[in-house]
Structures are given as structure tokens and as C-alpha cells.
A and B are shown apart, each in its own frame.
Chain A
Amino acid sequence: MTDGVPILRIGSTLLVSIQIDLQDDTALRLQEDLAERITSSGARGVIIDISGLEIVDSFIGRMLASVAGISHVLDATTVVVGMRPAVAITMVELGLSLGDVRTALDVERALALLTPVEQSPEDVLLAAAEREER
């Protein structure tokens, strides 16, 4: 059994950076750990950085889609970032679609994408009121 993948928390976002060649049981464990952490921390967003991954095969692809699905029912949004171009080309040819998984080019863009989710209802109403005033 290898060590698990560390999960960091930034505000209401969980950040996972996969730096190692994941073996299948490690990927499954990460999926379970993330579900646990979303619930215990009340996170609203999950960012998975896969820039360290040299390949995404059907197993890892399914894991990413599962994490997105699990986080969705736990009221959080998952964004996968940092996919290498060669990985993207290969995944499409393999026939693997990440389904409803949101993607962004890097962590910064993912955080920006998740920001509206983190706004309180008051913020949203305020922003809407401001737009109407203009």
C-alpha cells in the first residue's frame, strides 16, 4: 500500500495535486478520502491538479468523473486542471469523455471559476441589484 495523495484546504476549496503515477487502489482511496473531506470540511469546491500525470487512462478518467459526481451530490463543484496536451489528445482518441467534469487550464482559473459558488446569497443579490441600477 502506497501513501495516500494529500488533500489541502484553501478556504472552502479542497486542492489535490496528483504528482505520482497513481496505481488503481491509490486512486480509489483518493476518491473515498475526498468524499470524506468534502463532508467534514463543508467544502464547496474541489480542484484536482493533474499536471503531474503523464497519462489518463480509463481507470483514472472514471475516478475523476466519479469524484465530480460524488462532490456534486455533496453540494460541491469539482474542477480538473492542468491536463497536458498529449493527454487530452490521447483521452479523446481513447473515447474517454470526462462527462460533466468541469475543467480549467490551471489552478488560478479554477479558483476564479469556483468563486461565484463561494459567494453568499447576499453577495449574489447585491451584484444583481447593482446590474439593474446601471
Chain B
Amino acid sequence: MTTATAERLPIRTDSDVVKVRQLVRTLAQEARLSLVDQTKLVTAASELARNTLVYGGGGDAEVVLMTEGVRKGVRAVFSDEGPGIPDLDLALTDGWTSGGGLGLGLSGSRRLVQHFAIDTAAGAGTRVEIATWTR
């Protein structure tokens, strides 16, 4: 049985990206993730929050501290109503970018977390969900 408390933050400016990072960091500490797992999760959240801002034209992040028995975890969901990603396979390739970035945001953040799911289509916005649990 999973219990959860969620917090939702808007992503409209650079400073919102920082706030999302800080919230994810706080909950990751509360969940007692290892320092490396915390760092990976916060880094992934930073990449995805920036994607939401830059490519999605803004959106929001919902961050949840989850408890399942003795395990705890943190889930973050990034949603926007932007143009969506027409070719997802391509977008998940290292080094591919539609903007001026390094092309590591999606592919790289997928490697940093235990759970990664993405839901997108051209013209239909993008929703990316990541989660990491205590080991």
C-alpha cells in the first residue's frame, strides 16, 4: 500500500527551476535516499524542469514523497502543454537536441533515476515521470 503527499510547483521562470530542484532535494533527504541517489534525482529533476520551461513553454512539476512499507521514494512529474515531441526515439538519443542544449536532458536523466516514463505526442504536450526509491 502506497501513501503519498504531493506538492505542485509552477515552472515559468529560471528561478522556478531552482525551486523545483530544492523541493526534490528536501523530499529526497526526507526519504533518506543515499547522497548519490539524491544528487542523481535532483540533477534529473533539474534537466526535466528546464525542458518543461524551454521546450514546453512552461508547465508544472508535481513532487511526491511516497511510502511503501519500509521503503520510501520520491516521484516527480513534469507536465507541459507545449508542442510535444514528434519523434520520441530521436529525442531519447544522446546528443540530439532540437534547441541549443547538449541533448542530454532526456536521455541523461533517464539514466539517473530508477523509474522513467514519458508520455508525449506532437501537439499534445509532454508528461515525464521519474522516481527513485531507497535501496
Residues of chain A at the chain B interface (Cβ within 8 Å): 2, 21-26, 54-59, 61-62, 84, 86-87, 89-91, 93-96
Contact = CB atoms under 8 A, between A and B. Distances in A.
Nearest to B97: A58
Interface of B: 14-15, 17-18, 21-22, 25, 35-36, 38-40, 42-43, 46-47, 50, 94, 101-102, 104-105, 107-109, 111-112
A91 B46 CA distance: 13
Contacts of A94: 43, 47, 104, 108-109, 111-112
Given A59-B50, A95-B104, A87 B39 contact: yes
| Dominant SS among interface residues on chain B | helix
Contacts of A21: 18, 21-22
Contacts of B46: 55, 57, 59
Most buried by B among A62, A87, A95, A96: A95
A23 B43 CA distance: 13
Given A21-B22, A96-B102, 4 more contacts: A54-B42, A86-B39, A90-B39, A94-B109
A116 B101 CA distance: 35
B54 to A, nearest CB: 9
A93 B47 CA distance: 13
Contact of B105 (A2, A25, A58): A58
A57 B14 contact: no
Given A86-B36, A90-B112, A58 B18 contact: no
Query: Among A2, A22, A55, A56, which residue has the most Cβ atoms of chain B within 10 A?
Result: A55
B50 A24 contact: yes
